[in-house]
Amino acid sequence: MTPPTDSSQADNMADSTDTLPTGPPPGCILSVRSVVVGIFVFAFIVTGTMWVYWRLQDGPFIPLEQALSMEFRGSRPRVEGGQRKMHKDSPAILQITMKVDFDPTRETERFQAFADHVARFTRQHFDVRPY
């Protein structure tokens, strides 16, 4: 491209490059605003779905988790229950995972006493008949 020869041509070129297009380019289907709104709507739907799933899956065990954490301070209990999906004929299980301050593989007697205490406590605070 050859440089402009007079000042009027230079002014016209400067004016044409200073203005930016306002709006979507021709042939564009979605605007930026609709994409951003769509992202937020999708995020709310995914978050809501995850919350509902969490409440249905873990909701029945939250009171037991809270009771275990009050009884055994610092244990960070995690309670899960139900039937294994791959084995439809297997019995439903109630699984309690907790942090302990000893090695359960080395101190088996202490571990057994702790497990018995957790089992008695769980039966007092939760209906274990389905499991």
**Looking up tokens 């249905």, which residue turns up?**
56
The pTM for the full model equals 0.58
The stretch 46-57 carries a mean pLDDT of 92
- Evaluate if residue 53 carries a pLDDT over 70: yes
DSSP per residue, the chain: -PPPSSHHHHHHHHHHHHPPP-SPPTT--S-HHHHHHHHHHHHHHHHHHHHHHHHHHHGGGHHHHHHHHHHSTT---EEEEE--SS-TTSPPEEEEE---SS-TTT-HHHHHHHHHHHHHHHHHHS--TT-
Give the tens place of pLDDT for each residue, 59-112: 889 999 999 999 998 889 999 888 777 667 778 888 899 999 999 999 999 999
The pLDDT assigned to 116 comes to: 95
Question: In this structure, are residues 131 and 94 in contact, taking their beta carbons and an 8 Å threshold?
Answer: yes
The pLDDT assigned to 82 comes to: 80
Give the tens place of pLDDT for each residue, 4-33: 555 555 555 555 556 666 666 666 777 788
The pLDDT assigned to 40 comes to: 97
